[in-house]
Chain A
Amino acid sequence: MKKHNNLLSGIFIFLVLLFVYAPIFSLVLFSFNANRSLTTWGGFSFEWYGELFRSREIMNAVVWTFIIAILATIISVIVGTFAAIGLSKNKKLFRNVVINLNNIPIVNPEIVTAIGLLLLFQSLKLQGGYGTMLLAHIAFCTPYVIITVYPKVKSLDPSLIEAAQDLGATPMRAIYYAVFPQIKVAIFAAAAIAFTMSFDDFVISYFTAGSTGTNISIYLYTLKRGIPPTINALSTIMILVVTIVVTLNFILTRKQYKEV
Chain B
Amino acid sequence: MKKLIELRNVTKAFGENVVLKGIDLEIYENEFVTLLGPSGCGKTTTLRIIGGFVDPSSGEVLLNEKNILDIPAHKRPTNTVFQRYALFPHLDVFENVAFGLRMHSNKANIKIQTEKLKEDYQIRIDHAQDSTTKKKLKLELNKEIELIKDPNIHLKLKIDKLKNKIKTLDKTNPEFETQKQKLQEQIKAIKNDFETPKVREKRLTDKVMKYLAMVNLQGYERRSVHKLSGGQQQRVAIARALINEPKVLLLDEPLAALDLKLRQEMQYELKEIQRNAGITFIYVTHDQEEALTMSDKIVVMNEGEIQQVGKPEDIYNEPINTFVAKFIGESNIIEGIMIDDYLVEFDGVKYPCVDYGFKRNEIVDIVLRPEDLDIVPQGTTPISGVVDSVAFKGVHYEIDVKTNTRIYTVHTTDYQPEGKKVSVSFEKEDLHVMEKW
Contacts and interface: CB of A to CB of B under 8 A. Distances in A.
A177 B89 contact: no
Contact of B74 (A157, A159, A168): A168
A177 B96 CA distance: 11
A200 interface: no
A159 to B, nearest CB: 4
B103 A167 contact: yes
A148 B241 CA distance: 34
Nearest to B89: A182
Interface residues of A, number: 19
Q: Most B CB atoms within 10 A — which of A157, A167, A178?
A: A167
Contacts of A170: 74
Contact of B78 (A160, A166, A174): A166
A163 B53 CA distance: 10
Interface string B72-90: 1111001110111011111
B86 A163 contact: yes
A173 to B, nearest CB: 7
B240 interface: yes
Contact of B90 (A159, A173, A181): A181
Interface in A192-234: none
B104 interface: yes
Nearest to A173: B103
A164 B99 contact: yes
B88 A177 contact: yes
A172 to B, nearest CB: 10
B385 interface: no
B88 A168 contact: no
Given A163-B82, A165-B74, A167-B79, A182 B103 contact: no
B244 interface: yes
Interface string B229-251: 00000000000110010000000
B86 A160 contact: yes
B51 interface: yes
Contacts of A175: none
B100 interface: yes
Interface of A: 157, 159-160, 162-171, 173-174, 177-178, 181-182
28 contacts: A157-B86, A159-B83, A159-B84, A162-B73, A162-B82, A162-B86, A163-B80, A163-B82, A163-B88, A164-B88, A164-B99, A164-B103, A165-B72, A165-B73, A166-B51, A166-B53, A166-B241, A167-B74, A167-B79, A167-B240, A167-B244, A168-B74, A168-B75, A168-B104, A171-B72, A173-B103, A177-B88, A181-B90
Interface of B: 51-53, 72-75, 78-80, 82-84, 86-90, 99-100, 103-104, 240-241, 244
